[in-house]
A = this chain, B = another copy of it.
Amino acid sequence: MEWFRSIPDETHHRAFLKDVLTLVLDEAVFKANRRGEPVIRWRLPQELLSLIDVQTRDQPASHEELLAAIKATIDFSVKTGHPMFINQLYSGLDPYGLAGQWVTDALNPSSYTYEVAPVFTTMEEAVLQNMRALLGYPDGRGDGIFCPGGSLANGCAMNLARFKAFPSVKTEGLHGLPRLVLFASEDAHYSIHKMAALEGLGEAAVRSVTCDSQGRMDLKALEAEIQVAKRDGVHPFMVVATAGTTVLGALDPLSAIADVCSTHGLWLHVDAAWGGGLLFSKEHRHLLAGIERADSVAWNPHKLLAVPQQCSTLLVRHEGLLKACHGRDATYLFQKDKFYDHNLDPGDKYIQCGRRVDVFKFWLMWKGKGSLGLGKHVDAIMELSRFLIEELKKRADRFKLVLETPNFVNVSFWYLPQSIRNLDPSTQIYRNKLQSVAPKIKEGMMKAGTMMLGYQPLRQWPNFFRFVTQNSGMTKQDVIFMLDEIERLGDNL
């Protein structure tokens, strides 16, 4: 067969694919994530360009050249499965999830109709139903979709809430409607603003509700904002509560917010993109009490449950609403004269048309670990986080917690170098110094390759580290290593 054709050929491709898989398994799966191996081999863009020829060419590269490029790509990519990658709301490299991705890739499906994806559309329905059951929707009833990320899951929820309040918006748009507003805490994810802009509401439609000292939405502030909106003559339609804020990991008081929504006839969306996985833990699921009252929930299994990138869902209480809001009945895809029940085709519930299958990796993990295993995974992460808090308290002369008693995984803290320990914390010089500490330590750890840990400022607080992991392969020894490494890198700042 000719070399350029888009189908694998025994003669041309089997050996190449086997070589790739050997490389991937040895280098990217096992070696890369071993303790002692670097999390990152930091290179500036110009250095990277000298190591990997990223430019495309007219002529084909040889298999040897491609294998070398793959090796370099693995070498200079960040090892997000490494226990010391504690930089984002995703990490770990789940073996079952990875296997599920590999299978999905080989089958290369798109998940709009039963006819082209019978197994995967069936699994999607089963998984979404079981997630809704965990959420506490009776018998797992309701509806749901997989989304390309939590931002768009939140965006779809906003679209549904708006459509429920004003069905005419689908055909007529916002024109002629009162000005619509929604409420989210000041620590809600920035996607709420992004989606408000995308959906024609405008960022100003998001009324920011102040947080309490723990980063949770303040109920009195919410009530006050609703009153202000009514006085302004604008039309409130939705509250976005957060179950696990991005930085502090705060869990908004869902039951109390549900009461407020009920009183004012507002749609309650819970952004549990980060916190949703807690529902698998018998010990910790009480932290999400009230979530069963939500009209919709965004939940990203690729976060706390460590499903490979990307696996996001939107779960909805109201049956039929997704299709009513998003449907367009494209006759080339959703023919009504099919020989099977066209209601099996989920495609018209979605804002996308072609859609990558994100269910199988999660399904295989869920089968491989059981709900019990996923619960243990969550418990292990929570235990690690509690251990870190204790360790930080033991080192209270050098480390300072931002919140004394975080409820979820996130632990925010400052490192105080020697030069700052005796300064008065109320002075600007102290604050300026502290603001510069985390970026410098971050630079040090990246260049050493020993770990990656994120930092950011928030409100009155200068730059602080955010510990967060989804990798239950991380150990208490790793936590101690992290703290020791921060001390090593920051002591003399």
A:50-71 near B, CB below 8 Å:
52, 54-61, 63, 65-66, 69-70
Task: Take A148-B148, A173-B201 as given contacts and tell me if A56 and B17 are in contact as well, using a CB distance cutoff of 8 Å.
Answer: no
- A106 contacts which of B29, B54, B306, B310 (Cβ < 8 Å)? B29
Of the listed residues A4, A114, A169, the one surrounded by the most CB atoms of chain B closer than 10 A to its CB is A4
Q: Identify the stretch in A217-225, A283-291, A332-340, A399-407 within 8 Å (CB) of chain B at 4 or more residues.
A: A332-340
Contact across chains for A353 and B73 when beta carbons are under 8 A apart: no
Residues of chain B with a CB closer than 8 A to A63's CB: 368
- A170 contacts which of B80, B203, B440 (Cβ < 8 Å)? B203
Q: In the bound complex, how far is the Cα of B364 from the Cα of A74, in angstroms? A: 13
Contact across chains for B103 and A70 when beta carbons are under 8 A apart: yes
A:107-163 near B, CB below 8 Å:
107-110, 114-120, 122-123, 126-127, 130, 148-152, 155, 159
> Given known contacts A5-B380, A7-B471, A88-B110, what 10 new A-B pairs fall within 8 Å (CB)?
A4-B377, A42-B118, A45-B118, A56-B126, A66-B367, A69-B364, A70-B364, A80-B116, A105-B308, A335-B455
Contact across chains for A6 and B302 when beta carbons are under 8 A apart: no
User: Is there a chain B Cβ closer than 8 Å to A323's Cβ?
Assistant: no
Q: Identify the stretch in A89-97, A262-270, A389-397 within 8 Å (CB) of chain B at 4 or more residues.
A: A89-97
Contact across chains for A110 and B17 when beta carbons are under 8 A apart: no
- A30 contacts which of B5, B14, B108, B169 (Cβ < 8 Å)? B14
Residues of chain B with a CB closer than 8 A to A310's CB: 110, 354-356
Contact across chains for B119 and A56 when beta carbons are under 8 A apart: no
Interface digits, A346-374 against B, CB 8 Å rule (1 contact, 0 not)? Answer: 00000111111100100110111111111
Q: Identify the stretch in A188-196, A253-261, A421-429, A484-492 within 8 Å (CB) of chain B at 4 or more residues.
A: A188-196
Copies of this chain, tallied across the complex: 2
User: Is there a chain B Cβ closer than 8 Å to A87's Cβ?
Assistant: yes
Residues of chain B with a CB closer than 8 A to A9's CB: 95, 473
- A119 contacts which of B48, B106, B360, B368 (Cβ < 8 Å)? B48
- A171 contacts which of B115, B202, B333, B368 (Cβ < 8 Å)? B202
Q: In the bound complex, how far is the Cα of B388 from the Cα of A488, in angstroms? A: 70
Contact across chains for B87 and A352 when beta carbons are under 8 A apart: no
Chain B proximity of A409: nearest CB distance (Å): 13
Q: In the bound complex, how far is the Cα of B473 from the Cα of A12, in angstroms? A: 13
Minimal Cβ-Cβ distance residue in B for A247 = B332
Residues of chain B with a CB closer than 8 A to A368's CB: 60-61, 63, 66
User: Is there a chain B Cβ closer than 8 Å to A313's Cβ?
Assistant: no
Task: Take A69-B364, A171-B204 as given contacts and tell me if A118 and B308 are in contact as well, using a CB distance cutoff of 8 Å.
Answer: no
Contact across chains for A28 and B107 when beta carbons are under 8 A apart: yes
User: Is there a chain B Cβ closer than 8 Å to A185's Cβ?
Assistant: no
A:178-213 near B, CB below 8 Å:
179, 189-191, 193-205
Q: List 14 A-B contacts (CB under 8 A).
A: A5-B377, A7-B471, A8-B81, A45-B118, A57-B367, A60-B367, A77-B117, A78-B116, A88-B354, A151-B353, A171-B202, A247-B332, A302-B354, A339-B446
- A367 contacts which of B61, B115, B247, B440 (Cβ < 8 Å)? B61
- A20 contacts which of B99, B200, B457 (Cβ < 8 Å)? B99
Residues of chain B with a CB closer than 8 A to A374's CB: 4
Task: Take A78-B116, A90-B110, A122-B54 as given contacts and tell me if A200 and B197 are in contact as well, using a CB distance cutoff of 8 Å.
Answer: no
Contact across chains for A330 and B190 when beta carbons are under 8 A apart: yes
